[in-house]
Structure 1
Amino acid sequence: MDYIIMAKELLVLYPIVEPEIQFIRHNENMTFKVTDKLSNKNYLLRIHKPAIEGFFGLQHTIEGLKAEIEILKKLGCEELLHVQLPVENRFGEYITQYKFDNYDEPCYATVLEWIDGEILTSKEEITEEIAFKLGQNLALFHKCLEELTPSDNFVRPIYNIDKIDIAIEELKYCVEAELFSIERYNIIKDVLISVKNQMNELKLRNNAFGVIHADIQLGNIVISENNPCIIDLGFCGFGYYLFDLGSAATIFPSNLRQNFLQGYASKAYFSFEDLRYIEGQIFMDIFMSYTLFMRDNQRNSWIKTHAIKTCDTLCRDFLEGKEVFYSM
């Protein structure tokens, strides 16, 4: 079924006049830019049907989507950040269930407000000012959601030690599929066990764990009026704040990472003595991403070259106690 046809069918259920539809991509969701020709206002339509099995998670369930709506509304009511607020359908609901002819099961869809601006696509586009401001905005994101009072059925992914144990088991498939050798698998396993030990230490801290974005990458940052806005809460869930600091730091060239961390520290607690923990969270993020793509032969080839570089240099140095933060 054509993506545009699917979007048109769904948008009949929304108060958007003469929608002009532009397909964006199909990864963890099908996404579209929708323009209301009457008001000239833009929206983001998401059909929550992942392109590959590895992308499916709690975030695609009705409970997970309701929780995401809670998060977006909480961020919006604080008015500290530019947020993609959810839009109601014609029935006054934020989540639409719809049965397409080409799918056996009904799909869920949501519409969010669009943030005008340019998506960050390259490290070369980032300035010291943008790096510092993104650090500030990430700190505000975390602080806003500290005050979130979840509903009784609030369900989102949890990025904890159990997640690492699952990844260690699942990554054995990469050896079977010859994406990397058993020797490199053992290196990855040793790193993840070390990260588990770090997380046991982090457990003893106050205010270190909460709602995190969990997917901060170049394509999820929109520069709007020189303000880096964090979008796409698809993987948002519970984890250590240092996880977000790690994934966000890697979008910057090494020379701008300190600017980013200083920006964060200007709005929330952060110590540069925690770089070792951030390194561990980056490794956790990397190896969990392998599990998302590894079973898709059309999208998993990058793992081969990435694992060689990561295991043979960064992992070995990390296990030897060397600092790798500025090399990742």
Structure 2
Amino acid sequence: MLMAPEEKPTARPMLYEDALLERLEAGLRTALPKWGLGKDPKVKLLTVSENATYLVERADGSKMIFRVHRPDYHTEREIRSELAWVAALREDGVVETPETIPTEDGAPLASFSDGEATRHIAAFSFMAGKEPDADDDLVKWYGELGEINARLHGHARDWQRPEGFTRKTWNFDTIIGNGALWGEWSAAPGLTKEGHAILEKTADLLRQQTDAFGTGEDRFGLIHCDMRPANLLVDGDRLGVIDFDDCGFSWYAYDFAAAVSFLEHEPYLPDVMAAWVEGYRKQAPLSQEVAAALPMFVMLRRMQLTAWIASHGETETAQSMGEPYTEGTVTLGESYLAEHG
């Protein structure tokens, strides 16, 4: 996650204890000369979740963002593929997003050893702005986001991907099925026997529905997969998009579901959904079938996030959500079954 310095960093999760954070900053500093940075530049930790993100300020006051990747999630090839797409999106004027900055030798990544693990480092230009929130005109910004998504999806369909391009596939199985990459929803904190039964029925229905919806080329391809408000930066009339770390192959409509992460229960959800659809249709066709499927993908994403909270209990986000989020997921699942079952 890339953040402007005026944003407040999240509390440190237990995963990132002081000793580890000291090692990560020391490792980052050993790599900074590869980007031509002088001795002892100002380094500020912005946020930590599974990656650690830093703001680095040069002597002349210019700023860069560095992302120190967590091990055992993305391979080096996957990270290079992400950066290649970001560079292409910028070159083709598809979306306002930070520039990827290679080392002085032209390498897209650097790395350092952290015990037995290798930590990859990616660098980006600094982008000013703030996360849109409930005090902003979210309907307006989700309309803008719909337009951005339409352009991004069109680019993904037409772009000639470089040889070896590799990103994860986000389908039912890898989202909440047997191969779920973010863990099991059934391990959610506070999940009761009754709640488990409701979510199991919900998952079964979602499997049937996503199978029926299919993965044709008109509806499944390369997407950002995490355009939630924390990964959007508003600066005046500009809406910037950051953090393509989870980009991969999934349903195009899943980009909307990811964009309303942790907002699935809000009463304004139908309004931002309608705005997103309207914005999308300003740039590209969006069938009624796909628009009608958005609630399905919102429920699927909600269950994925419930699994993430269960498997990432050491993080500040998971700790802040806890059992109430699980209870909310059960309530949404019950409503979904009543309406769509």
TM-score class normalised by the smaller sequence:
0.7 to 0.9
**CA distance in structure 2 between the aligned counterparts of 1:99 and 1:35, rounded to whole angstroms:** 24
**Secondary structure of 2:35 counterpart:** coil
Runs of 4+ in 1 over 4 A off after TM superposition: 167-170, 249-252
The match for 1:42 is 63
Q: How does 1:176-187 map to 2 (within 5 A)?
A: 179-187=190-198
Q: Which amino acid aligns with 1:266?
A: K
Structure 1 contact 133–227 (Cα < 8 Å) conserved:
no
Could you list the per-position Cα deviations for residues 82-108 of structure 1 after superposition, in whole angstroms to 9, with x for gaps in the alignment?
Answer: 1222111132201112124xx322211
1:304 aligns with 2:323: yes
1:10 and 2:28 aligned: no
Partners of 1:80 and 1:153 in 2: CA distance:
23
When residues 223 and 168 of structure 1 are mapped into structure 2, their CA distance, relative to the original with a 3 A threshold, is closer
Say whether 1:211 aligns with 2:217. no
Deviations 1:113-136 (A, max 9, x none): 22122233x222234432321211
Q: 1:204 to 1:105 in 2, by over 3 A?
A: closer
Take 2:325 and 2:107, find their aligned partners in 1: how far apart are those partners?
43
Give, as a single letter, the amino acid of the residue that structure 2 aligns with 1:307.
T
| Higher mean C-alpha displacement, 40-49 vs 270-279 | 270-279
Which structure 2 residue ranges, 5 or more long, are not aligned? 1-18
Who is 2:101 aligned against?
A: 87
List aligned pairs for 1:213-232, cutoff 5 A: 213-232=224-243
1:271 to partner: Cα distance? 3.6
- Whole-angstrom distance in 1 between the partners of 2:180 and 2:170: 14
**8 Å contact kept, 2:306–2:325:** no
For residue 257 of structure 1, report the CA deviation from its aligned partner. Answer: 3.2
Unpaired stretches in structure 1, ≥5 consecutive residues: 51-55, 324-328
- Please tell me whether residue 31 in structure 1 is matched to residue 53 in structure 2: yes
CA 189–25 in structure 1, closer or farther in 2 if over 3 Å, else same = same
Deviation at 1:265, TM superposition (A): 1.4
State the 1:172 CA deviation: 6.5
> Is 1:68–2:117 an aligned residue pair?
no
Alpha-carbon distance, 1:31 to partner:
0.2
Q: SS at the partner of 2:206?
A: helix
Distance 1:147 1:31 in 2: 31
Normalised TM-score (structure 2): 0.81
Alpha-carbon offset, residue 187 of structure 1: 1.7
Contact conserved, 1:167 with 1:287, CA < 8 A, in 2?
no
Cα distance in 2 for partners of 1:21, 1:134 equals: 32
Query: Counterpart of 1:151?
Result: 162
Q: Partner of 2:46: helix, strand, or coil?
A: strand
Note if 1:166 corresponds to 2:178: yes
Partner amino acid, structure 1, of 2:244: L
Residue 304 of structure 1 aligns with an amino acid whose one-letter code is: E
CA distance in 2, matches of 1:41, 1:7: 18
Per the alignment, residue 9 of structure 2 pairs with none
- Deviations for 1:190-217, whole angstroms, at most 9, x for unmatched residues? 2122222222222264410111111121
Distance 2:215 2:69 in 1: 36
- Aligned to 1:219, the other structure's residue is in SS state helix
Whether 1:321 and 2:339 are equivalent positions in the alignment is yes
Q: 1:20: which partner in 2?
A: 42
User: Which shifted more, 166-175 or 109-118?
Assistant: 166-175
Whether the 8 Å CA contact 1:86–1:113 is kept in 2: the answer is: yes
Q: Which whole-Å CA distance do the structure 2 matches of 1:173 and 1:317 have between them?
A: 19
CA 1:28–1:204 in 2, change beyond 3 Å: closer, same or farther? closer
Partners of 1:285 and 1:200 in 2: CA distance: 16
Amino acid in structure 1 at the alignment position of 2:99? L
Deviation string, structure 1 residues 63-94 (Cα, Å, up to 9, x no partner):
11111112112211211321222111132201
**Kept in 1: contact 2:97–2:240 (CA 8 A):** yes
Query: Does structure 1 residue 292 correspond to structure 2 residue 308?
Result: yes
- Cα offset for 1:237? 0.3
State the percentage of identical aligned residues.
16
- Where does residue 53 of structure 1 map in the other structure? none
Q: Secondary structure at the match of 1:294?
A: helix
- Equivalent residue runs for 1:67-146 within 5 Å: 67-100=81-114, 103-120=115-132, 122-146=133-157
CA distance in 1, matches of 2:36, 2:338: 58
**Once structures 1 and 2 are overlaid, which stretch shifts more, 148-157 or 81-90?**
148-157
